[in-house]
Amino acid sequence: MRNLLIVVILSIAVIGCGTLQKTTTVSTSGKTMEINTSGIYTKPLVADLKVQEAKIETTVEGKSLLPENVPSLVSNLKKSAVSQAIQINKCDILIEPMYTVKIEGTNVSVTVSGRPATYVNFRNLTAADSSAVKLRNAADVNDATGIVENSSISKKGGVGKIFLVSLGLIIVLALVL
């Protein structure tokens, strides 16, 4: 009975730790939409970027109430700095943003620098463009219509592997004890 109790406790610990390791953070933008269903046809657009030669720089500052919240404040200030740089310079995107982060206690200052760019010359994707653009999940580009058929994506998770390893450990421990 004692051996069975040890095996159960170890299996709960192994399975519990395995699921803690499988954490995923997903961040999405309002400007994109992922279509992962077969049978949906998309007509992708491409655009050129008009990049300014002069680099721009924007600084934002913030203060955290608790020292342990400083990393999340840094992340938020980076996003805010890019957003402000785009708004101030009336551009669509900041090319190769570089961040300078200064932390003094709970005071944080983030400076972002990069080249502002705007999208120009929107057009339908052609076969000539597709050699420069890597199409994810694209079956084919029809030059006459510019339509790309997306195929479905199979996403394999790691939770099943963790479960199988945990089950194997339980069996080995049960045989040993």
- The per-residue pLDDT string of the chain (177 residues; one tens digit each, 9 = 90 and over) reads 666 666 666 666 656 554 444 444 444 444 555 666 666 676 778 888 999 999 999 999 999 888 888 888 999 999 999 999 999 999 999 999 999 999 998 899 999 999 999 999 998 888 777 766 655 444 555 555 555 544 444 445 555 667 666 767 677 666 766
Write down the H helix ranges in the chain.
Answer: 2-21, 70-89, 127-130, 159-176
Is 26 domain-assigned? no
Cα angle value 150/147/125 (rounded, 5°): 105
Number of domains making up the chain: 1
Query: Please, what is the end-to-end C-alpha distance for the chain in angstroms?
Result: 11
pLDDT given at position 81:
93
pLDDT given at position 25:
43
pLDDT given at position 69:
86
Residue 135: HSE in the Cβ half-sphere, 13 Å Cα cutoff: 25
pLDDT given at position 67:
83
**d(C-alpha 55, C-alpha 40), whole Å:** 41
Which three-class secondary structure string do you get for 20-45? HHCCCCCCCCCCCCCCCCCCCEECCE
Is 171 domain-assigned? yes
Residue type, 61: E
Is 1 domain-assigned? yes
Least Cα distance to 63 among 73, 48, 50 occurs for: 73
Determine the structural domain holding residue 162 and report its residue range. 1-19+156-177
Is 53 domain-assigned? no
Is 13 domain-assigned? yes
Map residue 63 onto helix, strand or coil. Answer: strand
Structure letter (DSSP) for residue 124: E
Is 3 domain-assigned? yes
Does the pTM exceed 0.85? no
**d(C-alpha 11, C-alpha 101), whole Å:** 44
Map residue 46 onto helix, strand or coil. Answer: strand
| Token output for 38 | 């077969």
Map residue 109 onto helix, strand or coil. Answer: strand
pLDDT given at position 154:
43
Is 5 domain-assigned? yes
**d(C-alpha 170, C-alpha 51), whole Å:** 59
**d(C-alpha 105, C-alpha 69), whole Å:** 11
Is 163 domain-assigned? yes
